[in-house]
Structure 1
């Protein structure tokens, strides 16, 4: 059997944390140990859902709390946009009433 391929994510996350002085790119707090709200995570500055890539210049280290908060805000904005788009579509297909 061949060697199991190792993920580069832990090393990339560590390298980003080092380059940022072990501080979150959003709140500036020092990172805490893995599994806590302040643990370092990989953050896409330009989200993948908006065409962002995994290129080094598009990545940053953020604490888990900030990363999740940003993800929730983006998801809510996407849902509002889709809801508004759906409402506009419904308005455009409703029959006109005679006055």
Structure 2
């Protein structure tokens, strides 16, 4: 078994009601209709094998970079709400995981399009591509604790 995706409650109930999935985890609540009561599904298991194509790498979007860096500025360690290219794009830097970090607005503005050695700054860490999928990152496990034993973050 491996996690495939996060689905809406409506889709989860339809999968269970049509026999395409079984409920592995529930939080104890029930969904009632006139004739049927169904446990509120939190984790499902499909009843038949589904071929999963090779997953593409996660792109470095604003959301995923902030998630990777835990919403902390790579320069000052404060709260981050923007992203910054370590080697600026105006100087040939690429938009890739090893060149993009989370930054606060103040540090992003102060750095502008300069290189780190020009202003005497250093990164607190070496930026890398995350090992998790966007759908199953650390944020999703924190939002639903019952998922933690099924998702390796």
Q: Which has the higher strand share?
A: 2
Larger RCO (CA under 8 A, 6+ residues apart)? 1
